[in-house]
Amino acid sequence: MRAALVVANWKMHGTVVEARALAAQVRDGLKRPRGIEVVLCPPFTALAAVAEALAGSAIGLGAQNCHWETSGAFTGEVSPAMLAEHGCRLVILGHSERRQQFQETDAQINLKVRAAFAHGLTPLLCVGESAQERSQGLTFNIVEGQLRAGLAGLSPEALGRCLVAYEPVWAIGTGVNATPAQASEVHGYLRGLLSELASKEIAQFIRILYGGSVKPENAGALLREPEIDGALVGGASLQAQTFLGIVKKAAFRGGNPKE
Ligand code: PGA
């Protein structure tokens, strides 16, 4: 079974002081994570403070975006090399908020995915359809287009090191999560595509996370689905107790009766 992964996307929340405190609370609440990996993605400005708070713990550090160049005249941008220097191990790419509010294209996202790899970062590629696209029966077309374009040109070996998140746009920050069946159906479809792009064997290793209004109350049912390998958590990751509640559900998704 693929080890569960829970990623906190703090978005544009948290001053350095707040981020340090939240990271410390998560760290203290997760002394010996078992059967689970956890990564916190604070805003750029808090990366150093969170890295310090997490030092020596099993919790990883990630970022929410990056540029594709290593350095240069790109005012306001942050490069993958800079993230790696801070100790980031993954970077969220192609989040729907980047696509919608900052007009990121699939071609740009693909450049970012490749640049992330070049600097030793694991890309977490986000895909997902809008409410309108779902109502028009376009869900599979949309996620397929985003997946193929985002991962274009990667070797099967590189594909095997990618992470994917299915985040239906209508579920993000709305309180309305995809049902376990809805999410599982799309995850299965994405894994089929990954088998085609890499190989069946490699696709079995690629973790596909679900994101969109994940809470402690719904995490158990979502994560019990064999195709759902973890969660990308926004709003509910801003409170340590709520986030830890989700992490617990993910750790026990195999259903250890003693725990
Ligand atoms: P949400 O956000 O958990 O607040 O819905 C998820 C995300 O945008 O990654």
So what's the pLDDT on residue 255?
56
* 232 Cβ below 6 A of ligand 1: yes
* 172 Cβ below 6 A of ligand 1: yes
User: Domain locations in the chain?
Assistant: 4-230+245-255
Interval between CA 76 and ligand 1 midpoint (Å): 24
* 234 Cβ below 6 A of ligand 1: yes
> Do 62 and 39 touch, CB atoms closer than 8 A?
yes
* 128 Cβ below 6 A of ligand 1: no
If you write DSSP's letter for every residue of 155-210 in order, what string do you get? -HHHHTT-EEEE--GGGTTTS-PPPHHHHHHHHHHHHHHHHHHS-HHHHTT-EEEE
Give the dihedral of Cα atoms 202, 5, 67, 95; nearest 10 deg. 100
- Could you list the pLDDT tens digit for every one of the 259 residues in the chain? 799 999 999 999 999 999 999 999 999 999 888 889 999 999 999 999 999 999 999 999 999 999 999 999 999 999 999 999 999 999 999 999 999 999 999 999 999 999 999 999 999 999 999 999 999 999 999 999 999 999 999 999 999 999 999 999 999 999 999 999 999 999 999 999 999 999 999 999 999 999 999 999 999 999 999 999 999 999 999 999 999 999 999 998 755 433 3
Q: Active-site residue 167, yes or no?
A: yes
**Whose Cα sits closest to atom 6 in ligand 1?**
234
So what's the pLDDT on residue 219?
97
Cα 250 to chain centroid, rounded: 14
* 213 Cβ below 6 A of ligand 1: yes
Name the residue of 64, 167, 239, 246 to mutate for ligand 1: max ligand atoms within 8 A of Cβ.
167
So what's the pLDDT on residue 253?
78
Interval between CA 5 and ligand 1 midpoint (Å): 15
So what's the pLDDT on residue 35?
84
So what's the pLDDT on residue 132?
98
In the chain the first and final C-alpha atoms are separated, in Å, by 18
Q: Active-site residue 67, yes or no?
A: no
The fold adopted by the segment(s) 4-230+245-255 is TIM Barrel (3.20.20)
